[in-house]
Amino acid sequence: MKIARIDTHSVKVPYTFGGDHKGEGLRTWTTNNILLVRVETDNGIVGWGEAFCYACTDAVRAAIHNMIAPIAIGQDARDIARLSYDLQQKLHLFGRYGITIFALSGLDIALWDIAGKAAGLPLHRLLGGAGRDKLPAYASLLKYRDPEKVAARTKLAVDEGYRHVKLHETEEPEVKAARLAVGNDIAIMVDTNCPWTPEQARHMTLKLRQYDLYWLEEPIFPPEDFTAIARLREGTGVPMAAGENNCTSFQFRDMFAAGAVDYAQPSVTKVGGVTEFLKVANLADAAGVTLMPHSPYFGPGFLATLHLLAAHGGPGGMIERYHLDLEASLYGELVMPVDGGFVVPTGPGLGRDPDPDVLKTFGA
CA distance 299 to 331: 8
CB closer to Mg ion out of 112 and 263: 263
CB closer to Mg ion out of 91 and 137: 137
CB of 191 to Mg ion, least distance (A): 4
Angle at 272 (CA atoms; ends 30, 121), nearest 5 degrees: 95
DSSP string, 236-294: H---EEE-TT--HHHHHHHHHHTT--SEE--BTTTTTHHHHHHHHHHHHHHHT-EE--B
Give which of 44, 52, 45 is closest to 8, Cα–Cα.
52
CB closer to Mg ion out of 108 and 191: 191
CB of 185 to Mg ion, least distance (A): 24
Q: Note the residues at the interface with Mg ion (CB under 5 A).
A: 191
CA distance 326 to 142: 13
CB of 244 to Mg ion, least distance (A): 5
- Asked whether 188 and 163 are in contact (CB, 8 A), the reply is no
CB of 344 to Mg ion, least distance (A): 23
CB closer to Mg ion out of 80 and 260: 260
CB of 224 to Mg ion, least distance (A): 15
CB of 249 to Mg ion, least distance (A): 19
CA distance 350 to 344: 10
CB of 218 to Mg ion, least distance (A): 6
CB closer to Mg ion out of 100 and 192: 192
In the chain, DSSP finds a helix count (H) and a strand count (E) of 13, 13
Strands 31-41 and 290-291: unpaired
CB closer to Mg ion out of 77 and 241: 241
- Asked whether 349 and 322 are in contact (CB, 8 A), the reply is no
Distances (CA, A) of 340 to 137, 161, 168: 6, 4, 19
CB closer to Mg ion out of 190 and 344: 190
CB of 210 to Mg ion, least distance (A): 22
Residue with the closest Cβ to Mg ion? 191
CB of 106 to Mg ion, least distance (A): 20
CB closer to Mg ion out of 191 and 276: 191
CB closer to Mg ion out of 75 and 193: 193
CB closer to Mg ion out of 57 and 246: 246
- Alpha-helical (H) ranges within the chain are 57-63, 69-72, 80-90, 99-119, 123-126, 147-159, 172-182, 198-208, 226-236, 248-257, 273-287, 300-311, 356-361
CA distance 311 to 37: 23
CA distance 14 to 364: 12
CB of 242 to Mg ion, least distance (A): 8
The values of phi and psi at residue 338, to 5°, are -120, 110
The values of phi and psi at residue 220, to 5°, are -120, 140
